[in-house]
Amino acid sequence: MNDVPPTFAGTELHIHICGAISAALVPWWIHWLRHTSPDVVVNVSISPQARRFVSDEAVRVLANGEVWIDDWTASPLPHSWREGQSGGSQCIIVFPATHDTIMRLAQGRSDSPALMMLQLTNLPVVIASVSPVQNEISDFWIDLLARRSNIEFVPVVAGVRADDRTVHENGFNLPGALSLVNDKVSRRS
């Protein structure tokens, strides 16, 4: 059995970072992605809430594409988000995806440039959910969002929660996200 993690099969992707504590680990994952897929262009949007856990500068140094803050007042915002794009990205990975972001996306809200991009896009979107709880309300919104033909959720893996050190399953799984994305990108080629 070969346990080699997947590389990205395309040429350009976008990562949207939301405001969960696991956002602090995203620079490491971007570094890993650039190491395993050196020719891939990595574009990134960072929610204002994520900036509590990850610095814009760390992401700018590690990513080799557009890096922008997901705020209407941020400058410069790339023009491509208005068409549901991010540069020449072939997919969008929401990594990590907070409970709030999943619910806002499922409700059709477009109250930030990245959410507008995610609502308008026909690109494959893979969501790495890190919701701390699963209940009837979250299940409702996740099921509604999963009806969109271009959206999939990353398979969960066991992880240790930062607050109480207990093991908790979540979707903060970039190799799992890449496996899903590769399948969708190859079908579109």
* pLDDT at residue 161 in the model: 66
Whole-structure pTM value: 0.92
- Name residue 134's beta-bridge partners: none
Confidence of residue 1 (pLDDT cuts 50, 70, 90): very low
Per-residue pLDDT tens over the stretch 39-89:
999 999 999 999 999 999 999 999 999 999 999 999 888 878 788 888 899
Per-residue pLDDT tens over the stretch 96-116:
999 999 999 999 999 999 999
Q: Is the peptide bond before 76 cis (omega within 30 degrees of 0)?
A: yes
CATH of 12-188, one of 2.40.30.10, 3.10.180.10, 1.10.10.10, 3.40.50.1950: 3.40.50.1950
Per-residue pLDDT tens over the stretch 126-168:
999 998 777 898 899 999 999 999 999 998 877 666 666 666 6
3-state SS track over 18-31: CCCHHHHHHHHHHH
